Amino acid sequence: MKVFAQTLNLKDDPEVIRQYIEYHKSTWPEVLKSLQSVGVLDMKIFLLGRRLFMYMTAIENFNPNVDFPRYLTLDPKCQEWEDLMGTFQVPVEDAKEGEKWAMMDQVFDMEAQLKAL
């Protein structure tokens, strides 16, 4: 299993943030099923202020550069969802060129350290 952490900002507008939260209370089923079909096992998004943090687990051979674009093609609702969510989102200042959700580096793994003791 692979683990990914990514971050993104929402636009600095309380109404935008409220709407984003509301949409995620009932994510479209086509989106959920398509993410699952490309190998996403679980995805959680957390919010602090306007900063989003996404924690995702995926199958071992999941490649975000291949599988996220593939997810968008599995059902027209997936691209529609991504376009809609894009109206709420702003890349963080440290994002790479063309990167919407910026990949974060893992700096601590309690389980691994405990195993090493």
Domains along the chain? 2-116 (3.30.70.1090)
7-55 pLDDT, tens digit per residue, is 999 999 999 999 999 999 999 999 999 999 999 999 999 999 999 999 9
Q: What is the pTM of this model?
A: 0.92
Q: What pLDDT does 61 receive? A: 97
The one-character DSSP state at 96 is P
Alpha carbons 95 and 106: distance in angstroms, whole number = 16
Alpha carbons 23 and 18: distance in angstroms, whole number = 9
